[in-house]
A and B are shown apart, each in its own frame.
Chain A
Amino acid sequence: MKVSTGIRNLDRVMDGGFVERSFNLVYGGGGTGKTLFTMNFLISGAESGKNVLYVTLEETWEDITRKLPPGIKERLNAVSKRFHYLDFGSMRPVLGREILKSDVLQEAISSSVVVNNVSLVGIDGIAPLTLYYDDDRRIRNAIFDLSQSLKSYGVTTVFTSEEIEGRSRYGVEEFVSDSVIRLIYTGRSRRLQVLKTRGSGFIGGLHGFEITNDGLQVYPRVMFSEGKREIRAEAIGISKLDTMIGEVYSGDVILLAGPPGTGKYLFGVQFIKNVCSSGKRALFVSFEDNLPNIKRRLMEMGEASKNCKLVHLDPGDMDLYKLMWEIRDRARDVSRMVIHGINVFSEREEYSDFVHSLFSYTRNEGISTLVTYTIPNIIGTNVIADKHVVNVANHIVKLLFAEINGELKRVLVILKAQSPNHERGLVEYRLGKRGVIIVGKIEEMEGIMSGTPTKQMEIQKRVQKFFK
């Protein structure tokens, strides 16, 4: 049997939550959210009708409740009849360190467990135990005795400890715990890592983690799919480009990479226009600041624009794990999606997880996705995009500028497609009021990819001249 952690998405990371009657360690540095984790675990338990007990060994109850975010405080007040506490923090100056002796703690906690019929316990901050126990062996024994006592009463416990040099405070807490969760705060983002769960599986690695006004939220690095949709052949929606690419199926990822000014967002608008016109829903997520243009183009769809959601997200401080879950929430009912400007995140540490999780989710859900990637070089580059997004793309279209007859023209080339018969030539396109217009294949030119092509005839002449 499992007991919910009470934290959104953490149960899925931990294969359903904590094992019933287990003793679980949560450790982390100062300000990582250990107290809030414990409080959230207990409040959620009380909300589900359980009697719960919070034991603070370090801070006083008054300080803890004063610092709670307003939403969590409100939740606590609503379940106060089922929420019990023992404040050893405020008792220590009055009653002395004797109260931190293992058997005193055990008796006090078990009395409250029995009297109040408690099934969930949170013990917050075991650091003061050192005031009574002076070596690791004695602390380990004290924690072990406490865990056995609580298990014998059938309760599930979360206890917290400080992190010192990458380990829990005494380095012994892990050994007596059935599961170990580590909380990390870098000053910019919060991370949660499950290090161990006895008798149960878990998803390893660092997960996103957020403290909100009314509770805690985990953003797993892996997204769970709600079931595969039917795979069907689709049209991209740009005249002639469909023929050039060949077969495209629902759930495919199309990567469109090119320098600024090549009209990537227009491809995106046209990509979702078709489905919106047929009454289906689509999502356009932009990380670039050309929102008014995108909006204007979408509005040109008229009534159909109602089926299209446009979201502009400022990439500045955005946590990528949170972002991918936010996109997932918004993409629940859509059949197509555009991710515009994914390159803004390519330097982030969690980018690889972000790309692989997001697109394996869209693939499993049958959401066809067009991803745009801005390459900084205007002319002549062999760069397509970063390896992560290239690896997940089913189709890759490169957009580029080429100087032809003294004019800078827009050209596209299909570098990868699922169909073996896709167009291999370079094709000129224009951007007009109606969007992207495919002009046609560029004949008799070479070196277009370099940005400065020459006519094939001229080369032949030069070769002939050389051999003469």
Chain B
Amino acid sequence: MGNSEDKMVRVPKDMYDAIGELIKKYPQYGWKGPSEFVRDAIRRYVEELHRREILLKRAMKVMPGRVREILSKFMGPAEAEEAYARIMEIHEDDPEEYVAKVVEILKDYVGEKLADIIARRIVEERLNEGEHGD
């Protein structure tokens, strides 16, 4: 099935044996051998990363509004509006970087640890929604 463009990857023997066992255990997936199993796993993982990136970008979009909502309940609308305005000024495409910058702003209001919890919770909410909705 291979062609001249194909590349080899190494897997430890333990992992190779485990693949063999999984193929036997789940015949319904139709893996014809270890190579097909690995190809299928990589394809799924890439899809997952891609989906995660989409969700993180969605989380980025909702983050200012959600932060405003949480802070408004937690400490009142004045601080919430101020934090919201500062977050809206962030220009960052990379989701990880963006979240780090939001945490940086939030820590001025609630301290670093709680800022981290709030940002993490907003991302998790999106990811959970993605798992259940997509």
A residues bordering B, Cβ < 8 Å? 61, 84-88, 90-91, 94-96, 98-99, 101, 103-104, 106-108, 110-112, 115
A91 touches B74 (CB 8 A): yes
Chain A residue numbers with a CB within 8 Å of B121 are 94-96
Within 8 A of A (CB), among B52-71: 70
Chain A residue numbers with a CB within 8 Å of B112 are 107
Q: Which one, B70, B73, B76, B111, contacts A108 given CB within 8 A?
A: B111
Q: What is the bound-complex CA distance between A218 and B113, given in angstroms?
A: 40
B74 touches A103 (CB 8 A): no
A107 touches B113 (CB 8 A): yes
B117 touches A85 (CB 8 A): no
Contact with A along B98-134 (1 / 0, CB 8 A): 0000000001111111100110010000000000000
Find the residue from B75, B76, B121 having the highest chain A CB count within 10 A: B75
Given A103-B113, A104-B117, check contact A111 B73 (CB 8 Å).
no
User: Which chain A residue lies CB-closest to B111?
Assistant: A107
Chain A residue numbers with a CB within 8 Å of B75 are 84-87, 112
Question: Can you list 25 A-B pairs, Cβ within 8 angstroms, ordered by A?
Answer: A84-B76, A85-B76, A86-B74, A88-B74, A90-B74, A91-B70, A91-B73, A91-B74, A94-B70, A94-B73, A95-B117, A95-B121, A96-B121, A98-B117, A103-B113, A104-B117, A107-B110, A107-B111, A108-B113, A108-B114, A111-B110, A111-B111, A112-B109, A112-B110, A115-B108
Q: What is the bound-complex CA distance between A61 and B111, given in angstroms?
A: 20
Chain A residue numbers with a CB within 8 Å of B111 are 104, 106-108, 110-111
B114 touches A99 (CB 8 A): yes
Given A86-B74, A94-B70, check contact A107 B114 (CB 8 Å).
yes
| Least Cβ–Cβ distance between A162 and chain B, in angstroms | 24
Within 8 A of A (CB), among B29-53: none
| Least Cβ–Cβ distance between B63 and chain A, in angstroms | 15
Chain B residue numbers with a CB within 8 Å of A88 are 74
Chain B residue numbers with a CB within 8 Å of A103 are 113
User: Which chain B residue lies CB-closest to A62?
Assistant: B73
Chain A residue numbers with a CB within 8 Å of B70 are 91, 94-95
What 6 A-B pairs have minimum CB-CB distances, sorted nearest first?
A107-B111, A111-B111, A104-B113, A108-B111, A108-B114, A108-B110
Q: What is the bound-complex CA distance between A86 and B113, given in angstroms?
A: 15
Please give 8 more A-B residue pairs, beta carbons under 8 A apart, in addition to A90-B73, A107-B113, A111-B109. Answer: A91-B70, A94-B73, A95-B121, A104-B117, A106-B111, A107-B110, A112-B75, A115-B109
| Least Cβ–Cβ distance between A388 and chain B, in angstroms | 53
| Least Cβ–Cβ distance between B78 and chain A, in angstroms | 9
Find the residue from A86, A101, A106, A111 having the highest chain B CB count within 10 A: A111
Chain B residue numbers with a CB within 8 Å of A61 are 73
Chain B residue numbers with a CB within 8 Å of A99 are 114, 117
Q: What is the bound-complex CA distance between A95 and B119, given in angstroms?
A: 10
Q: What is the bound-complex CA distance between A91 and B74, given in angstroms?
A: 7
User: Which chain A residue lies CB-closest to B118?
Assistant: A95
| Least Cβ–Cβ distance between B107 and chain A, in angstroms | 7
A87 touches B73 (CB 8 A): yes
Chain B residue numbers with a CB within 8 Å of A108 are 110-111, 113-114
User: Which chain A residue lies CB-closest to B110?
Assistant: A108
Q: Which one, A85, A94, A111, contacts B107 given CB within 8 A?
A: A111
Find the residue from B74, B107, B117 having the highest chain A CB count within 10 A: B74
| Least Cβ–Cβ distance between A54 and chain B, in angstroms | 10
Q: What is the bound-complex CA distance between A285 and B7, given in angstroms?
A: 105
Q: What is the bound-complex CA distance between A228 and B74, given in angstroms?
A: 53
User: Which chain A residue lies CB-closest to B125?
Assistant: A94
| Least Cβ–Cβ distance between A278 and chain B, in angstroms | 61
| Least Cβ–Cβ distance between B42 and chain A, in angstroms | 34
User: Which chain B residue lies CB-closest to A81?
Assistant: B78
Q: What is the bound-complex CA distance between A101 and B108, given in angstroms?
A: 19
Q: What is the bound-complex CA distance between A94 and B71, given in angstroms?
A: 12
Chain B residue numbers with a CB within 8 Å of A104 are 111, 113-114, 117
